[in-house]
Amino acid sequence: MAELNLSRKEGLSQLLAGKAPGNVELLRETTVALDSLTGFLAEQYLETYIPAGGSKIKFVTGLQGSGKTCFAETMLLEAAERCYLTVTISAREVWLHDFRGVYLEILRQCGLERILRDCADQIIREMGYDPASISEGKTLMDMLSEKGEGDAFSKGEIREALRRNFTRNPLLDNTFAVCCSLLMGDLLGYPVLENAYREMILAWMHGDPSVKASQMKAIGMSPIRVTKYNARNLLRSLCEVIHLSGRPGLLVVVDDLEQLISKSSDSPLKYTKGRREDAYESIRQLIDDIDSMRYVLFLLCMDREMMDDDSLGVKNYQALWMRMQNEVVSIRFNRFADIVDLDRYGDEYYTEDRITEMSGKLAEVLAREGMETRPIGQEAATQLKARAVFGKLGIPYLVNRMTLEGEKEHD
């Protein structure tokens, strides 16, 4: 799964296994050629389109070892540097056939309470105060009361801010908005929420089925549950609140989609025909709803077999495949395309010079760790590129293995 939380030692182990490093330093030190693509997408989407209220789904595909995870890790890094919230989901760890589970995992990784605290800070600034000036353990109303300003006017100003941002916001689900407003009021110190109610609201928002309808009605909430039918609408609301917190948006990476067609007995999650089709339908519905969302970019990463397998892959589910094929196919690699084909990208951008540069950077990193390597020369780079065109492994993986083991290991 695309992550960036591994130590340098763990990242080196990943590189030695022919995988993306999962470490920020190593990612910067070893990445070549993908920078042209990720830099372009970061500029066009992360800097411009998404913060302006846009939303997008990109399907990232390629042969094993073509750089999909490295691409996703680089995009995660680009997003984090721009203060996005980032989420990584693996189809090996999270069921994709029920979008309820996907939404709840996104919510969990985002950290709802952190988002709401940042929203509270934004309201405090709008009222003309500095959040840093409020002592730890105290609320805005505590500070105002100490100054003799905790009057009805200040309370009305807080209430109006909560209404404007949440309960009267037409872009938010009503129940989600009520929950956020109540939790935010508690963070600001008005209106204060009893601890039992606060825990109940958080439990509902995180999909706890034990929350009773009577409890929800008692504080003005609609007695509904988080389901696969309303999960996309709740995700839309979450993206809006993330933007209200002062962030440009949300990046969601869904990796290992080839798990949907895996026949391995070692697979942690095994998809039946029904679950696989439900997963495809869930993705189709997300595509249909994406234009009604704002401030979110999805990257869905899958091995080439997902595109090529006519009996199990996405082509077998026509409703999804038709939506993925709604653009003109260019002879050259199109960096705006919804399908980011890293094999086609590699054909154009992995020149012999870039291949030798990739090998040299990897060799330099590993040499500092006392490891012996065999950097690739121009002639070997030409042979490697020709081999990749007709093979089953991507250029980045072949560069990695040849640098570590030598050309003869892969003849």
Could you read off the pLDDT of 18-65 as tens digits, one per residue?
A: 788 888 888 888 887 678 899 999 999 999 999 999 999 999 999 988
Backbone angles phi, psi at 33, to 5 degrees: 75, -45
Burial-class residue 132 by CB neighbours within 10 Å (0-12, 13-18, 19+): exposed
CB 284 within 8 A of CB 232: no
pLDDT of res. 18: 78
Determine the pLDDT at residue 150: 87
Query: Residues 78, 166, 98, CA angle at the centre, nearest 5°?
Result: 60
User: pTM, whole model, 2 decimals?
Assistant: 0.92
The residue among 367, 307, 316, 373 whose CA lies nearest residue 342 is 307
For 387-396, the pLDDT digits (tens) are 877 778 888 8
pLDDT of residue 409: 43
Roughly what angle, to the nearest 10 degrees, separates helices 152-162 and 112-126? Answer: 130
> Quick check: helix, strand or coil at residue 55?
strand
DSSP label at residue 393 = B
pLDDT, residue 411, reads 44
Between CA 16 and CA 347 the distance in angstroms is: 24
The count of other CB atoms within 10 Å of the CB of residue 43 is: 12
Bridge partner residues of 62 (DSSP): 303
SS3 378: helix
| DSSP string of 217-244, one letter each residue | HHTT-------TTTHHHHHHHHHHHHHH
Helix (H) or strand (E) holding 300: strand 296-303
Can you give the pLDDT at residue 246?
A: 97
Pairwise CA distance, residues 255 & 92, whole Å: 8
- Which portions of the chain are predicted below pLDDT 70? 1-3, 33, 326-331, 406-411
347 CB-contact burial (10 Å; exposed 0-12 / middle 13-18 / buried 19+): middle
* pLDDT value at residue 4: 73
Distance CA 74, CA 39 (A): 9
What's the CA gap between 321 and 281, in Å, rounded? 10
Q: Which of 305, 396, 398, 360 is nearest to 21 (CA)?
A: 396
